[in-house]
Amino acid sequence: MQTMNKQRRTLLRCGVAGLGVFLGNTLLPPSLSLAALSTRLSLFTEWLPPDQNGIRLPTGFTSRIVAQSGDKLFNYSWHAAPDGGATFATPDGGWIYVSNSELSNRKGGAGALRFDARGVLIDAYPILHGTSRNCAGGHTPWQTWLSCEEVDQGLVWECDPFGTKAAQVRKSLGAFKHEAVAVDPRQKHLYLTEDEPDGCWYRYTARSFDADGNPDLDDGFLEVAETEHTQGGAVVWHILPDPSAAKIPVRKQIARSSRFNGGEGIWYHQGIVYFATKGDNRVWSYNTYRQQLSVVYDASRYAVPVLTGVDNITVNADGELLIAEDGGDMQIVVLAGEQALPLLQVTGHDRSEITGPAFSPDGSRLYFSSQRGKTGRDSDGVVFEISGSF
């Protein structure tokens, strides 16, 4: 661990000074100056020893376990294999954390944890059941959760975080091995990743909208991306002839479509869509206005990369990316420009992966899961809450 801390200090000393070249990059929002970023990242140069929950955190941060697979929480037995997640504000000043269950054979689905304004858990309940390998997904601006099935011809299900409305399948979003979804609220597009070694990257466009201007997820068309070259560049979108994949897999319908090695988490922030590909350990950035794609992080560029096993993505209030590792060093890593610095590490969970990072609406708490806990079994998932000055 001394080696890790030395590496972290080296990154801060050498990396932050180099961040000046990224001040015009989309990864550094205008509100976050280089000096402010340097100060913020300096908080993460040293970890405390593992706490009672096995989490290594910076000074001033604390952790607690809010759910474990099999726990009876109110009338809901918390699900196994917790995966992608998101938070939603509630009218009483509290919030809801939703979490997928990545179980096969129609044993998957999604559940929700509801907290009051003080952060006290006050309810837990299912919002989707009877589906398969619900991996990641995405939140929508109209306060629903899109849960993705990571199976051949898997579908996307729109769920009510409050648990009052039945989940609805959205077939127009395609039938393929879905990973995650991000919604562009300005241009009304949905972007979708595919977890295949030769997977594609997709965009959904609605033909009609509801009274609030939200896109109709049953009336639209699905497109697939073609880039200038494998490292990125201008993107051309091609309409898919059969998103239902009745005869031909969706990713094989357009010969010119570009390949992405294992699409993972995806997130929209201020006109930019970020997504990760686990097969080559890259994080991509797509400018929705210029329709240009670029690689903002590539582990192969580093002799000893800090970030590997790139998976779920979230963004904090300052526009910094937080990347969860599937394996790797079981860390959540802050990514600003090409500089990666670990925020926290889960110890003793070597056969698991970090899933579902999401901030509470006020940004003071971070939720995530260790999908298979200490044992490496789906039945031993753990949901953590981290509090601190993010």
Q: Cα separations (Å) of 233 from 265, 291, 292?
A: 20, 8, 5
How many Cβ atoms from other residues are within 10 Å of residue 305's Cβ?
15
pLDDT of 317: 83
Q: Supply angle C-alpha 172, 177, 179, rounded to 5.
A: 90
pLDDT of 42: 54
pLDDT of 389: 86
pLDDT of 390: 81
Please name the CATH architecture into which domain 2-387 falls: 6 Propeller (2.120)
Question: One digit per residue, pLDDT tens: the chain, 390 residues?
Answer: 434 444 443 343 333 333 332 333 344 443 444 444 544 555 555 799 999 999 999 999 999 999 999 999 999 999 999 999 999 999 999 999 999 999 999 999 999 999 999 999 999 999 999 999 999 999 999 999 999 999 999 999 999 999 999 999 999 999 999 999 999 999 999 999 999 999 999 999 999 999 999 999 999 999 999 998 666 799 999 999 999 999 999 999 999 999 999 999 999 999 999 999 999 999 999 999 999 999 999 999 999 999 999 999 999 888 899 999 999 999 999 998 667 899 999 999 999 999 999 999 999 999 999 999 999 999 999 999 999 988
Domain boundaries, the chain: 2-387
Q: Cα separations (Å) of 106 from 100, 150, 170, 384?
A: 13, 12, 17, 26
pLDDT of 21: 29
pLDDT of 67: 98
pLDDT of 230: 61
pLDDT of 336: 81
pLDDT of 294: 94
Q: What is the pTM of this model?
A: 0.91
